[in-house]
Amino acid sequence: GAVVSQHPSRVICKSGTSVKIECRSLDFQATTMFWYRQFPKQSLMLMATSNEGSKATYEQGVEKDKFLINHASLTLSTLTVTSAHPEDSSFYICSANAGTSGRNEQFFGPGTRLTVL
């Protein structure tokens, strides 16, 4: 089946630094990838939709200058948390759509645990 990887799986950084998280579709091309944020014991909240070759679409309330998304190729999307603060600590999960509509399954990455000290 389709595999999505994330790197790193876990990152600890100091407040004020920037952190980049990579999401890769390993055996398929993904024109659309999604970034979710999950707080402890809570559900996944969609942050943004990442489209290859174009600007990401952010959900209401998500700061686009804070969470920079780049989808430079059909197999890679990156999320950069700029000037991270402790409140940005969370579990970040990406997913990739293997088809051209929501009918096709989204494949989820294993997640990245970000801890900002």
Partner 1 sequence: AQSVTQPDIHITVSEGASLELRCNYSYGATPYLFWYVQSPGQGLQLLLKYFSGDTLVQGIKGFEAEFKRSQSSFNLRKPSVHWSDAAEYFCAVVNTGGFKTIFGAGTRLFVKA
Which residues make up the interface to partner 1 (CB under 8 A)? 6, 32, 34, 41-46, 49, 91, 93, 95, 97, 101-103, 105-106, 108-111, 113
Q: Is the CB of residue 36 less than 8 Å from the CB of residue 95?
A: yes
CB of 91 to partner 1, least distance (A): 8
**Rounded least distance, CB 97 to partner 1, Å:** 6
Q: Which is nearer to partner 1, 12 or 18 (CB)?
A: 12
What Å distances lie between residue 13 and 18, 19, 51, 83, 90, CA to CA?
A: 8, 8, 28, 10, 12
Contact yes or no for 65/82 (Cβ under 8 A): yes
Least distance between partner 1 and beta carbon 80 (Å) = 20
